[in-house]
Structure 1
Amino acid sequence: MKALLLAGGLGTRLRPLTENLPKPMAPIANRPWLEHLIIHLREQGVDQFIMAAHHYPDVIRRHFGDGRRWGVKIEYSLEPFPMGTAGAIKNAERFLDERFLVVNADIVHLPQLVPLLDFHRQHGGIATIALTEVEDPSSYGVVEQDDSGRILRFVEKPRREEAPSNRINAGLYIFEPEVMRYIPAQREVSIERETFPRLIEEGAGVYGMVSNGYWRDMGTPARYRQVHWDVLNRRFPLLMHGRQIQPDVWAGEDVEFGAGVLLVPPVLIGNKVKVGDQTVIGPYAVIGDNCYIGAHVHCSNSILWDRSVVRDNSRLSNSIFGYRTVAPAGEVFNNSIINQPGEVMRA
């Protein structure tokens, strides 16, 4: 089966981290989220992928190439301008001549495909939408369904007490190729506001099924951090690279600790990391590969991407450092996002 991965968004709410990076390439537990997703879908039986990309697509292409390193085939559908969810699907039409899967690649969710595919075959409609259940649906588009699972309408951001259900679009779809007839070409098209309402109105058969398991939109700094804390707590059991060197502390290869280092779980440390004397790491810290952390540093509730440097006597709390960020000695970073030396945004 082919999967179209929608990776063309600008990731504006995660800037400056996504200034030069597609949002799905942001690392989760020290690996790009898109890599975790492809590995999971491969294990579910998907071996052909099309990347719908627009914002810095070469970052994705350099990392994945043709996919052979991961045992899959990857092709690329580049958007000439931001085309929206349905517009990106239409733009990739030449690759999709049979039943296919579409995944919003910036949603953190590892779905089980077999139940969704079985349901899709049984109902015989043109589309299946994976749904997730939320406690408060008032910030989302909520679905109303009949007893067969057919979606009757979407209610956008209802008051909690007026919502027809607590089920929302999880960002994963199974389509028959005939869906392309309902999507205009060469313009931005919203699947939520245009395509699905048209399919429902014309009786093409749009059904929804709850996809169980962890689900979170990582599109803000707070949500991005929370995904990591859920990984560390094993609420989201994502694959950890490294071994447990003490309870709830994972470390990769060639990690060097100075004298008196204290690791306060939960903590994840990547490969080839150096930590100076009398430094405290954690609780809730994720350190990327090839990072250097000086002496007398305190790093908690923070995420450092690969090759970051934190000089002596600095303190980090509730902060995110992008790739190759260098923090000067003796500085305090609280609720900060830093993507380049000297560029700080309070979050």
Structure 2
Amino acid sequence: MQALFLAGGLGTRLRPLTENLPKPMALVGNRPWLEHLILNYKEQGVDAFVIAVKHYRELIESFLGDGSKYGVRIEYAVEKELLGTAGAIKNAEHLLRDRFIVVNADIIHQIDLQNALRFHEEHDGLVTICLTEVEDPSHYGVVERADRGRITNFVEKPKREEAPSNLINAGIYIMDRAALAHIPARKVVSIEKETFPLLIDNGSGVFGYPINGYWMDMGTKDRYRQLHWDVLDRKFPLSISGKEMNEKGIWIGENVQIGQGVLLVPPVMIGDNVTIGDRSIIGPYTIIGNSCRIGGHARMSKTILWDRCKVSAGAQLNECIFGSGMQVAGPHVMREEVCSSAGSAAPGGNRTLEVHNQ
């Protein structure tokens, strides 16, 4: 199987965390989400990937490479200008097989690909749109279905009272190559607003397949937090690096140094090469990234640190999200509802930002 990941846009709603990197490269459980995606799809039989890139393409390409370190093949389709969702797929046409999976790479999801593919093979349409049910569909593309799952109407971001259903486009599609003939080349084209309605109207066949697994658009800071709490609570069974201590919701990576009298309040995830000073209290709902340094007598709860952060002794952090390489200085620094970025070029970058009392 082959998958096309759309990763060319900017994560404007998740700024400043994604101010200098594509949203699919945001860390989820101490690993870029795009890497999680590749590993999950590989487990389900996908051996070839095409990644549509535009902004910060060098960052993605240098991190993922040709896929050999994951045991897969990765190729890149570069957009000189952003072409929209359908335009990006058309731009990758020369790399695509007769049938392929398209994924908006910033959507957090869990899907049974084999069942979705079987559904696609059972109908005679060119496209299967994976669907998920939400309480308020007004921010998404909403579908109306007839017998056998055929989609008869596709409405992009309707008013809540005008939505034909609560089933929305999950940002995951199975497409036959023949569908690409209906997308003009080298033009900005929206698959939701233009291509899908066209294929519905001309009888090409667009079908909807409801998925039952986890699904979330991590495009806001609140949803980004909730995603991590769901990971820690195992509501989203994402693979977690490190060993769990006695099945108590505390995961600790390799080469971690924990000082005397440290209290870990589950759930907590601690990455590799982390140092935590004496008598600190970490948790609940706290994720510490790789190579972070936490001073003694620090207090952290409901906080997410990316890699290489430094937290001074006595600092108190609550409901914070700190980007790579941030430094919290001063023994009485407190953070509530603060989301800041170090401006690093990538997870593992070198720039830092020092934050003082505010």
Q: Normalising by structure 2, what TM-score?
A: 0.93
Return the letter of the residue paired with 1:317: N
2:345 corresponds in structure 1 to none
Aligned residue in 2 for 1:254 = 255
Report if aligned partners of 1:303, 1:319 keep a CA contact under 8 Å in 2: yes
Deviations 1:2-47 (A, max 9, x none): 1100011100011111111111111111111111111111111110
Q: Give the residue type in structure 1 aligned to 2:301.
A: S
| Separation of aligned partners in 1, 2:293 and 2:55 | 30
CA contact (8 A) 1:321 1:338 kept: yes
Q: CA deviation at 1:235?
A: 0.3
How far apart are 1:132 and its partner, in Å? 0.6
Instruction: Report what 1:189 is aligned to.
Output: 189
Determine the C-alpha separation between the residues in 2 that align with 1:313 and 1:188: 52
Q: Does 1:295 align with 2:296?
A: yes
SS in 2 for 1:223: helix
Aligned 8 A contact 1:37 1:110 in 2: no
Whether the aligned pair in 1 keeps the contact of 2:2 and 2:97 (CA below 8 Å) is no
1:219 corresponds in structure 2 to 219
Gaps of 5+ in 1: none
CA drift at 1:142: 1.4
User: Which shows bigger deviation, 227-236 or 89-98?
Assistant: 89-98
Q: CA deviation at 1:161?
A: 4.8
Shift of 1:342: 4.2
Deviations 1:40-80 (A, max 9, x none): 11111110000101110111111111101101000011111
Structure 1 equivalent of residue 55 of structure 2: 55
Query: In the alignment, what sits opposite 1:275?
Result: 276
Output aligned runs, 1:99-248, within 5 Å.
99-246=99-246, 247-248=248-249
Is the 2:270–2:287 Cα contact (8 Å) retained in structure 1?
A: yes
1:332 matched to which residue of 2?
334
1:27/1:54 Cα in 2 relative to 1: closer, same or farther (>3 Å)? same
Name which of structure 1's ranges 246-255 and 157-166 shifts more when overlaid on structure 2.
157-166
Alpha-carbon separation, structure 2, partners of 1:105 and 1:299: 31
Q: Say whether the 8 Å CA contact 2:279–2:296 is kept in structure 1.
A: yes
Q: Which deviations, in whole Å up to 9, do the C-alpha atoms of 1:259-299 show, x marking residues without a partner?
A: 21111111000011000111111110000111000011111
TM-score (normalised: structure 1): 0.96
Superposition deviation, residue 162 in structure 1: 4.2
Distance 2:184 2:219 in 1: 28
Structure 1 residues 337 and 308, CA gap change in structure 2 (3 angstroms): same
Distance 2:100 2:21 in 1: 27
AA partner of residue 269 (structure 1): I
Give the structure 2 partner of residue 19 of structure 1.
19
CA-CA distance at 1:160 after TM superposition:
4.1
Q: Give the whole-Å Cα distance in 2 for the aligned partners of 1:49 and 1:25.
A: 16
Q: Aligned partners of 2:317, 2:26: CA distance in 1, in Å?
A: 20
Contact 1:21–1:56 under 8 Å retained in 2 = yes
Q: Give, in angstroms, the shift of residue 122 of structure 1.
A: 0.9
Distance 1:53 1:223 in 2: 24
Name the SS of the counterpart of 2:226 in structure 1. Answer: helix
SS of 1:128's equivalent in the other structure is strand
Distance 1:150 1:343, change over 3 A: farther
2:320 maps to a residue whose letter is S
CA distance in 2, matches of 1:212, 1:245: 30
Match of 1:80 in 2: 80
**Structure 1 residues 147 and 54, CA, compared in 2 at 3 Å: closer, same or farther?**
same
Aligned to 1:46: 46
In 1, the alpha carbon distance for the partners of 2:161 and 2:27 equals 37
Identity of aligned residues (%): 56
Tell me the SS of whatever aligns to 1:31: coil
Deviations 1:297-325 (A, max 9, x none): 11111111111111111111111111111
The separation in 1 between residues aligned to 2:256 and 2:25, in whole angstroms, is 25
Aligned residue pairs total 345
**Partner in structure 2 of residue 2 of structure 1:** 2
CA distance, structure 1, for counterparts of residue 89 and residue 305 of structure 2: 34
Q: CA separation in 2, counterparts of 1:157 and 1:180?
A: 24
CA distance in 2, matches of 1:122, 1:339: 47
- 1:53 maps to amino acid: V
Offset at 1:252? 0.6
- Counterpart amino acid of 1:278? R
SS in 2 for 1:125: coil
**Structure 2: how far apart are the matches of 1:82 and 1:165?**
31
Q: Distance in 1 between matches of 2:340 and 2:159?
A: 36
Cα RMSD after superposing both structures: 1.5
Following the alignment from structure 2 to structure 1, what is the Cα–Cα distance between the partners of residues 68 and 57?
18
